[in-house]
Amino acid sequence: MSGDAKAELRAAWDDLIAELQRARDAIDDPKLYAPPPSDRVLAEGYRYLMTLVYAGIERGFFEDPRFPYVRRAIQAISKATIDNADAIYFSMPIDGNCSYLLRGRAASTRHWRGEPRAKTGRLAPQYLIFECASGFTGDSGTLAEMRPGEKAMSGLLDISKLRLAADDTFEILLAPEKPPGFAGNFIATRVKRREREYVSTYVSGRQLFYDWEREQPVDLVITRLGAEREHPPAYAPALAAEQLRRAGALARGQMHFWNEFYDVLLETHGDRNGDGMRFMPRNAFNELNSASGATGGGMNTNIYAGGVFELAPDEALIIENEIPVEPMYIGMHLANFWGESFDYANRITSLNGLQSERSSDGLLRYVVAHRDPGVPNWLDTTGHPEGFLTPRWAYFEKPPQERWPRITAKKVPFAEVRKHLPEDTRVVSPEERVAQVKIRQAHVQRRFQQ
């Protein structure tokens, strides 16, 4: 053995540990945009840090565009980025100069074709989307990566365009260019914007679940075309050293980037740009806006709003949502200031369009409260005095702006919640709530099944 290898690996290990320390500092160092501390914020901060280490190890050691597999980018035990509680976020590393075949198999997809959902049996998720982009948000550790031109999305495909075989299987070709005469499902992995070429490095996507009892994740398998004769080379110190360093850099980068994102851009903890208000207002919502495709904004038919709840033990927030045009997906989610969605398995901390009930006047009303108010659409703060509120509305065809949803919030004393709801609002019993949580617990085990 070469003494160099031993020393090089040791040095890489020391670098990994140093990065973990820098990541840790973001939990309680105000210079690194740490949220205001409390016992629980700190406890969850360390949990968040550990899960970034967990994800960093997987990505550092196993993201190989030559031999990709579909990994869970976010899951119940590793949450971040104000994740959607209805989603599986998946991700695969690719080299956009190569070609890949992605194959899938879904349960009944009748609802993807605009038909009524199958009455019995398992269903495909409410929504599925794939996106190819030239980067993974947050890896750099600094907001500078969001400058225009840094990254680009080369292609996307969702269920509105996806063609399936009669048995609900599908294939998608991912390649730099569409081969002449190719008529199947296709996503471009390379794109030119303003004379610059962007080569995608990730395919990522989401499966959104509506019916937590019957919807079943789509099976996905990815293979690089022409790779069947190739084998990964024998493992060697130089690669191990590089992967050790990358695992640490990813954990640190993600930790630092999102802290800065939540504080500086979302102005979660105060007005930062001096315009006299926060981007994420307290007990209110900012103006609705749509994701822009220009810099690669997620589901480009999505409409978003955001805010922060801040509630004393005897207070509640009543949210009223008017929806002139019916979206394909509606979600309302709560998250802590690390961007971890609240415990959506064992608590009712999220509600989608199928799980929530409309009032008799057609409005969608949610009640954010620390304890059960006995009304429909309670969102459980799980005792957090403050946290993110993130409604999501997704459309295949976005309506004109004057027909977008409208959303407002009003803080009320907990004892007066019913006064602010329509008189015919029904009572939800504790037994019914237990039954709801039971469905959630079983669903989350199935969504992230072994």
Partner 1 sequence: MSARRGGLLGIQRLALALLLCAGSAPAFAAPPADAETTAAAKELRAAWEQLEADLASARDALDDPKLFPPPPSDRTLAEGYRYLLGFLYGSVERALAEDANFPYFRRALQPLNKATIDNADALYLSAAIDGAGSYRVRGIASPGWRAPRYVIFEAQSAYAGDSGSLAELRPGARVTTGMLDSTKIHFGAEGAFEILLAPERPADYGGDFIATKAVRQIPQPDGTTQPVEFAAHFVSVRELFSDWENQAPLELEIVREGFEGAPKPPENAADMARRVRRAGELVRNQMRFWNEFYARTLETHEDVNGDGKQFMPINDLNAPNAAALATGGGQSTNVYAGGQFELGPDEALIIEEHIPVEAAYIGFHLSNLWGESTDYANAQSSLNGNQAEWDADGVLRVVVAPRDPGVPNWLDTTGLPRGFMSVRWTYPEPPAQLPSVRVTKVRFNEIRAYLPPDTGSVTPDERREAIRVRQEHVQRRYRQH
- CB within 8 A of 446, min separation 6: which ones? 216, 217
Q: Which is nearer to partner 1, 26 or 421 (CB)?
A: 26
- CB within 8 A of 109, min separation 6: which ones? 124, 159, 164, 168
Residue 273 is a binding residue for partner 1 (CB under 8 A): yes
Q: Which is nearer to partner 1, 145 or 412 (CB)?
A: 145
- CB within 8 A of 257, min separation 6: which ones? 137, 138, 139, 140, 141, 142, 143, 145
Per CB under 8 A, which region of 109-117, 242-250, 361-369, 415-423 contacts partner 1? 242-250
How far apart are the C-alpha atoms of 270 and 47, rounded to whole Å? 24
Residue 429 is a binding residue for partner 1 (CB under 8 A): no
In the bound complex, what is the minimum distance in angstroms from residue 308's beta carbon to partner 1? 12
Contact with partner 1 (CB under 8 A): which of 380, 386, 395, 407?
380
In 3-152, at which residue ranges do the beta strands (DSSP E only) sit?
A: 71-74, 87-93, 100-105, 127-133
Per-residue contact flags (x/-) with partner 1 for residues 398 to 417, judged by CB under 8 A: --------------------
Residue 244 is a binding residue for partner 1 (CB under 8 A): yes
Residue 2 is a binding residue for partner 1 (CB under 8 A): yes
Place of tokens 């998250």: 335
In the bound complex, what is the minimum distance in angstroms from residue 344's beta carbon to partner 1? 11
Residue 297 is a binding residue for partner 1 (CB under 8 A): yes
Contact with partner 1 (CB under 8 A): which of 179, 313, 383, 422?
383
Q: Which is nearer to partner 1, 140 or 185 (CB)?
A: 140
DSSP code, position 219: E
In the bound complex, what is the minimum distance in angstroms from residue 158's beta carbon to partner 1? 12
Q: Which is nearer to partner 1, 6 or 161 (CB)?
A: 6
3-state secondary structure of 128: strand
Q: Which is nearer to partner 1, 168 or 320 (CB)?
A: 168
Contact with partner 1 (CB under 8 A): which of 97, 177, 182, 239?
239
Per CB under 8 A, which region of 178-186, 202-210, 398-406, 419-427 contacts partner 1? 202-210
By rule CB under 8 A, what count of residues binds partner 1? 144
- CB within 8 A of 55, min separation 6: which ones? 73, 78, 80, 250, 251, 254
- The residue type of 418 is R
Residue 101 is a binding residue for partner 1 (CB under 8 A): no
Residue 11 is a binding residue for partner 1 (CB under 8 A): no
Residue 160 is a binding residue for partner 1 (CB under 8 A): no
User: Are 140 and 257 a contacting pair, CB within 8 Å?
Assistant: yes
How far, CA to CA in Å, does 95 sit from each of 134, 226, 244, 352? 9, 13, 21, 35
How far apart are the C-alpha atoms of 441 and 335, rounded to whole Å? 18
How far apart are the C-alpha atoms of 162 and 348, rounded to whole Å? 32
Contact with partner 1 (CB under 8 A): which of 31, 113, 119, 196?
31
In the bound complex, what is the minimum distance in angstroms from residue 356's beta carbon to partner 1? 18
Contact with partner 1 (CB under 8 A): which of 110, 117, 282, 347?
347
Contact with partner 1 (CB under 8 A): which of 186, 279, 396, 414?
279
Q: Which of residues 59-88 bind partner 1 (CB under 8 A)?
A: 60-62, 67, 69-74, 77, 80-84, 87-88
How far apart are the C-alpha atoms of 284 and 287, rounded to whole Å? 10
How far apart are the C-alpha atoms of 41 and 259, rounded to whole Å? 13
Token pair in block for residue 131? 């996106």
